[in-house]
Structure 1
Amino acid sequence: MTRILPSFIIFLVTVLPSCAEGDKWKMAAEIEHSITLTSFPPDTFNISDFGAVANDTSILNTKAIEAAIMSCHSRGGGVVYVPAGTWLTGPITLMSNVNLHVTGNATLLFTTDYQQYLPPVLTRWEGMDCYNIHPLIYAMDATNIALSGKGTIDGQASDEAWWWMNGNPDYGWKEGMNNQKLAGRKQLLAFEQNQTPVEERRFGLEGALRPQLVNFNNCNTVLIEDLTLKNSPFWVIHPVRTDNLILRGVTIVSAGPNSDGCDPESCNGVLIEDCYFDTGDDCIAIKSGRNNDGRRWSIPSQNIIVRKCRMADGHGGVVIGSEISGGFSNLFVEDCEMDSPELLRVIRIKTSDCRGGVVENVNVRNVTVGKCSEAVLKINLMYEPGEECDRNFPPFVRDVTLENVTSCESQYGIYIIGLDGAVNVSDITLRNCSFNGVQEGASVTGAEGVKLKKVFVNGEKLKI
């Protein structure tokens, strides 16, 4: 069944026999070749040699791990080695030329003693600059750093620790408890709108703004490889203004609220490959700052490759937004598999006239989808309509291409929600796509230049 929502918005849909554009995928190869790779001296610094003790949860190994990292860094770099065993620790700060290697059968287990994550450090939270609770693994202004190994990094978040701060009773919050909605988030949103100096935006535990599991800021040349990351308090991997990043062979499992898997924010040159995502929010969400803070920095995310990844639960498989005020260009997604009744969307772009910015040159091919509950492609320019903000920044989405994408079950194949009274979505192309088990076909408003070639819904050629 094909359905068009009634609307006074004017939109243009055309069916073209072929694509006149060149092969954009050559750009993906150029991006990959341009990414600077990490390289470390062979020197190894075993945390046991610095006093760390395994398999004893009465011993906090923060200082021993810190000493190993500092020694490695001061001697020109190398590998900080975490051997087999369970190692309880507080927050870790990574330094330049250090590869923190968690070997197989080793677990870095982060304490749930909140006091260990104070004092606050400079970071970004939902696209807004602030000082907040120390991320579990953190770096600032570091070059040539890595997290590697076959081991596990466990944030120990649960309904009893961290997740309740979201304020949702489904995650352990109860009446009378503090939460981010009542405390820090509301205040931080006001700080952002008023452009309060960042030095004055300071939040401790009273703000209830949960920390990221991994947060790298202003870094360059980064590798995260082979690890299992689980039970994050908030976003799992959050690089900010970090270029030349490779995420490879990583398993991310975190079912908590806002447990985005990997959120590159204002990053340039990112490769995400052979990873598995099972998350409580978006699997991958590309960002570039929220509203005034994003416009103040005006640093887009750009040149990102996602390939050979598997996505299970999540609000979206590969997502752009919503904190995308700095803009985004050049995404290449290929050879991925996505399937879960708890996966809401496959490719998702979410923004609003609070955010502004331009999203362009999004390319997706050879993606196989089992089940997603809402849409294979969703573009929404009216995300969070109740947000209090300056709404004089209309966003634009253009030049989005999907080819050889198949799905077995969803509500919509294509779902585009443009702005009221404007056409800010353009040049959306689908080729050789087949969407089965679809309930409502396609819904498109506020878009022009939607081009279809050999696109089938429930076995019939799609007509919008």
Structure 2
Amino acid sequence: MKKTLMALALALAFVGMPAEAQKKGKTPDEAAKAWAELYPEIEKSIKAPTFREKDYPLFKYGKKSKTQGYLYTQLINKVIDRCSREGGGRVVIPAGTWLTGPITLKSNVNLHLEEGATLLFTPDLKEYPLVRTRWEGMDCYNYQPMIYAYEQENIAITGKGTIDGGAEIENWWRMCGAKSYGWEDGKGIISQRIGRPLLMEWNEKGVPVEERRMGDGYGMRVQLVNPVKCKNVLIEDVTLLRSPFWVIHPLLCENLTVRGVHIQNDGPNGDGCDPESCKNVLIERCYFDTGDDCIAIKSGRNRDGRTANIPSENIIVRNCKMKNGHGGVVVGSEISGGFRNLFVEDCEMDSPELDRVIRIKTNNCRGGVIENIYVRNVEVGQCKEAVLKINLVYEPREICQRDFNPTVRNVFLDNVNCRKSKYGVRIDGFDDICNVYNVEVKNSVFEGVTDGAFLLNGQTANVRFSNLKINSGVLKPLK
């Protein structure tokens, strides 16, 4: 049943909570307990890697070239290999712009970009061999991401330099298959319109990963930074620009810190930081201006995600600034392995092109349980749609097996203030089953709400609001 609850009318409405949901849900006191007990426990478990105090200056091991278009791929990877073999340290990239192909990080290596240094990646697809990764939550072999690591420990990318993916509509971005990014029908441009549907079909059918080989002819863009199955990862202070696809995509990693990075990427699917099936993650003091979600937490798509069944868990986001993006902090939509324990605090968001502040998106292709979302002390100038959006019917036209109903529970917002939005809270649940429950917004102010404070579609349970001001009106507490 569809329920549209507008502004002060909500003060008289109450969405009841059945006994079964009461058993599964948390009380408001448990949210405070999570901040007091679970948050510091997660924070304590996340430690940035340390490295041997030895520098490996890039041009100590090779010469600069005066040849236009010269690639430093081989030299950079050679120095990284040597540094790792000898016990680790810093591979130092000096000031200047250095054209390169894909870089492979190795254990105990800190790839350090000095101020004024730029690693500029070539758009030449021939330079990118196939490696194992995930693409939109689906396992495959695709072009190697620009900076890649597989099953390594103690790795870092640091410094005041710039990592520039070099993507634009003349090369990588048009491969998304959208005319707004340079793709044209009948022009022979290879795009993901070929590879993406095929990979989704392979996923649904359970085709072995070794047989899912993308690369030439499939149009599948690469991530900018993609550590896979790594432990103790640090990405700090660098600026990341013009990624072909997702910018930072840690996959199946544990103990990850992303600190002080500046991400500017307005390309298609230009997510800022997407930890997927990762455990113990800290994202702090970062700036995001993206063409898609600023931060999006994931755990695999459909069959691949359910088969692996590895959730993302224990993630802290704090002191970050978000400008443009489809969502500020997002869970989903590739979230079939589930997610638990997200803490977001002391963030600032503001842009007419920021669609939502906190967003949870999934559907009944995915399955999985999303639980324990804690948000406090977030200031928003404006967002385009909603401060909080929970959507269980995302991508309704997706071709998939649709009998894996997801669950979203225990979502708490405290002192989240927004000066302009279309809705305050929007929840799109299922009509025939209640799979969204125990949601609370309190001690918050939503001003400039234009189309209704709340829009609830489908079944929900125990959705609560207390000490909440909408357009200068105070809502009565819901009992």
What TM-score, normalized to structure 1? 0.95
1:460 aligns with 473
Q: Is 1:420 aligned to 2:424, yes or no?
A: no
Cα distance in 2 between the residues matched to 1:168 and 1:179: 12
Q: Secondary structure at the match of 1:210?
A: coil
Deviation at 1:274, TM superposition (A): 0.2
2:338 aligns with 327
Q: Is 1:19 aligned to 2:23, yes or no?
A: no
Deviation at 1:373, TM superposition (A): 0.3
- One-letter code of the match for 1:298? N
Q: Is 1:99 aligned to 2:110, yes or no?
A: yes
2:22 aligns with none
CA contact (8 A) 1:327 1:357 kept: yes
Q: Which deviates further from its counterpart, 46-55 or 25-34?
A: 46-55
Alignment map for 1:47-66 (pairs within 5 Å): 47-53=58-64, 57-66=68-77
Structure 1: give runs of 5+ residues left out of the alignment. Answer: none
Q: Secondary structure at the match of 2:325?
A: coil
The Cα offsets for residues 259-318 of structure 1, whole Å up to 9 and x where unpaired, read as 000000000000000000000000000000001000111000000000000000000000
1:355 aligns with 366
Alignment map for 1:55-454 (pairs within 5 Å): 57-117=68-128, 119-176=129-186, 177-439=188-450, 440-445=452-457, 446-454=459-467
CA contact (8 A) 2:5 2:456 kept: no
Cα distance in 1 between the residues matched to 2:51 and 2:40: 25
CA contact (8 A) 2:174 2:191 kept: no
Deviation at 1:12, TM superposition (A): 2.7
Deviation at 1:178, TM superposition (A): 3.5
Deviation at 1:175, TM superposition (A): 1.4
Structure 2: give runs of 5+ residues left out of the alignment. Answer: 19-26
Deviation at 1:419, TM superposition (A): 1.1
Cα distance in 1 between the residues matched to 2:15 and 2:402: 23
- One-letter code of the match for 2:182? G
Q: Secondary structure at the match of 2:201?
A: helix
Cα distance in 2 between the residues matched to 1:314 and 1:93: 29
Q: Secondary structure at the match of 1:316?
A: strand
CA contact (8 A) 2:164 2:241 kept: yes
Deviation at 1:420, TM superposition (A): 2.0
Q: Relative to structure 1, is the Cα distance of residues 429 and 349 closer, same or farther in structure 2, using a 3 angstrom cutoff?
A: same
Deviation at 1:52, TM superposition (A): 4.9
Deviation at 1:441, TM superposition (A): 1.2
CA contact (8 A) 2:391 2:428 kept: yes
Cα distance in 2 between the residues matched to 1:94 and 1:298: 27
CA contact (8 A) 1:294 1:325 kept: yes
Deviation at 1:391, TM superposition (A): 0.8
CA contact (8 A) 1:348 1:378 kept: yes
Cα distance in 2 between the residues matched to 1:430 and 1:12: 16
Cα distance in 1 between the residues matched to 2:68 and 2:242: 18
CA contact (8 A) 1:54 1:85 kept: no
Cα distance in 1 between the residues matched to 2:89 and 2:241: 26
Deviation at 1:35, TM superposition (A): 1.4
Q: How many equivalent pairs are there? A: 456
Cα distance in 1 between the residues matched to 2:413 and 2:67: 51
RMSD after superposition? 1.8
Q: Relative to structure 1, is the Cα distance of residues 40 and 442 closer, same or farther in structure 2, using a 3 angstrom cutoff?
A: same
Deviation at 1:90, TM superposition (A): 0.5
CA contact (8 A) 1:278 1:311 kept: yes
CA contact (8 A) 2:449 2:471 kept: yes
- One-letter code of the match for 1:144? N
Deviation at 1:104, TM superposition (A): 0.4
Deviation at 1:56, TM superposition (A): 6.0
Give identity over the alignment, percent: 55
CA contact (8 A) 1:55 1:87 kept: no
The Cα offsets for residues 216-271 of structure 1, whole Å up to 9 and x where unpaired, read as 10000000000000000000000010010000000000000000000000000000
- One-letter code of the match for 1:442? F
Q: Secondary structure at the match of 2:256?
A: strand
CA contact (8 A) 2:340 2:372 kept: yes
Cα distance in 2 between the residues matched to 1:179 and 1:256: 17
CA contact (8 A) 2:192 2:218 kept: no
Cα distance in 2 between the residues matched to 1:52 and 1:107: 17
CA contact (8 A) 2:176 2:193 kept: no
What TM-score, normalized to structure 2? 0.92
Q: Secondary structure at the match of 1:304?
A: strand
Q: Relative to structure 1, is the Cα distance of residues 13 and 436 closer, same or farther in structure 2, using a 3 angstrom cutoff?
A: farther
The Cα offsets for residues 330-374 of structure 1, whole Å up to 9 and x where unpaired, read as 000000000001000000000000000000000000000011000
CA contact (8 A) 1:56 1:87 kept: no
The 4+ residue runs of structure 1 with deviation greater than 3 A are: 54-57, 177-181
Cα distance in 2 between the residues matched to 1:12 and 1:205: 54
